[in-house]
Structure 1
Amino acid sequence: MAVSKKKSSPKKTKAVGRPTKDNGVNVKEALIQAGVELLENTSLEDISLRKVAAHAGVSHVACYHHFENKHALFSAIAEIGFQRYFETYQKELEKTDQDFKGRYRALGWTYFQFIMTNRQFARIMFGGTGVDAKTHPTLLAVSRRTYRQLHEIIRMGQNLGHLEKGNTREKTLASWAMIHGIAMLFLEGRLQMKNDIQEMEKFIQTVTEYAFIGMKSK
């Protein structure tokens, strides 16, 4: 009697492309990266968790496992944005030593450049998308760190005699409002960018200095 051969089951092939939850890779990081990549050419309004999941190469079920809605994803992306800005400005600080004016000007120009070259990040970082930093502790921590940078510069100016003593918080907020406000005017198209980058830098630094002049020590 002939013995029937048992058919061997076909070998499973590993999935190619982006790593998924099934092979033990951090899917959350892959989803955040996919969201960042989509921001380069997709408006915030058109981004959905399904689109992010598809771009990351994972199921939309896996996406909802990590982010309950797109605002939760945006908060994670905003955290990356603040971290990138923080690292960018830290590099500028290394060039200024204990020079108050240099640090103050560098902050204004770095802040402006970051917003203009990371427009979608800026929209997420500074509101308008439903992201509430208070409900995301890590985002709140990194966003406050960027505020403390400016606060420390204002305090340095006071200690060195460049700025009047007292009201450090109010002076910090006034400086931030000036720098952020001018950046938003350009971001929203109310003001047009100049073609010459050096001319643009000089313009931003001049505007920034007006905030400084109003706080100068008499």
Structure 2
Amino acid sequence: MAASKKISSQKHMGVGRPSKESGMNVREALIQAGVDLLENTSLEDISLRKVAAKAGVSHVASYHHFENKHSLFAAIAEIGFQKYFETYQKELEKTDNDFKGRYRALGWTYFQFIMTNRQFARIMFGGTGVDVKTHPTLLAVSRRTYRQLHEIIRMGQNLGYLEKGNTREKTLASWAMIHGIAMLFLEGRLQMKNDLSEMERFIQTVTEYAYNGMK
């Protein structure tokens, strides 16, 4: 959010209530401030007051957009999932449109997204206290990640790459493996390789072990 936009938003909030004209900009400023704070601030230490100060808007105005910090986290997570899906679609364009191509692309995208968007990952996959059931749009977009992998597993079964049956269990096993590897790197228990192509080969090898075990 450019400084000029922040200043403009502040002018509209002289009494702590944003106008309809500036409302969307204020909301976006708060979300961006939340994302920025997540880079170096623990979830427990983040508050709407700190986010408002970072965004350059009044603390009172923040409550016109978010009931509490968990509502803000939900909005950040939703944007994170949308960014993830966009990344996956771009990765698919570089792969073969078959089971192995889709499976590898999803595994690599999932890993790469978490490592390059750590502030989003902390909200999307961490224990933030957000009840997704109270945020329908977040619930829908978060479930899409599972459905995406479920469809790929079913595709592998239909094409004969994987043994049929227990589709749900195989989906969860695949997700647990790639998510677990990503978390090990995210927490520093495994060290990233300097060469990106070497890192990609490593992750694809892991995903291949996952589907080889389901044959």
1:101 and 1:23 mapped to 2: Cα distance?
49
1:23 positional shift: 6.6
Matched residue SS, 2:7: coil
Runs of 4+ in 1 over 6 A off after TM superposition: none
Q: Output the aligned Cα RMSD.
A: 1.8
CA contact (8 A) 1:44 1:120 kept: no
Q: For each residue in 1:123-161, what CA deviation from the matched residue of structure 2 results, as whole angstroms up to 9, or x when unmatched?
A: 110122212212211101111112111111111111111
Cα deviation 1:161-216 (Å, max 9, x = unaligned): 11111111111111000110100011111111111212111111111111100112
Q: Distance in 2 between matches of 1:121 and 1:114?
A: 9
Gaps of 5+ in 2: 13-17
In the alignment, which residue of structure 1 is the partner of 2:38?
39
Preserved CA contact (<8 Å) 2:35 2:119? no
Provide the aligned length of Structure 1 versus Structure 2. 202
One-letter amino acid of the counterpart of residue 149, structure 2: L
Quick check: 1:132 aligned with 2:131?
A: yes
Is the 1:18–1:56 contact (alpha carbons within 8 Å) kept by the matching residues of 2?
Answer: no
5+ long unaligned stretches in structure 1: 1-14
CA contact (8 A) 2:39 2:119 kept: yes
1:23-57: CA deviation from partner (whole Å, max 9, x where unpaired): 72122233212222333443433322112112222
1:66-119 CA distance string (max 9 Å, x none): 212111101110111111001100111223353211111111111101001111
Aligned residue in 2 for 1:24 = 21
Contact 1:154-1:171 within 8 A present in 2 as well: yes
Task: Quote the residue 1:12 is aligned against.
Answer: none
Contact 2:87 2:109 survives alignment (8 Å): yes
- Tell which structure's C-alpha radius of gyration is larger: 1
Tell whether the 8 Å contact from 1:18 to 1:57 is kept in structure 2 after alignment. Answer: no
| Equivalent position of 1:92 in the other structure | 91
Distance 1:23 1:68 in 2: 18
* Matching residue's letter, 2:29: A
The residue aligned with 2:183 is 184
AA partner of residue 24 (structure 1): E
Given the two structures, how large is their TM-score scaled by the length of structure 2? 0.87
> Which position in structure 1 is the counterpart of 2:56?
57
Structure 2 counterpart of 1:125, one-letter code: M
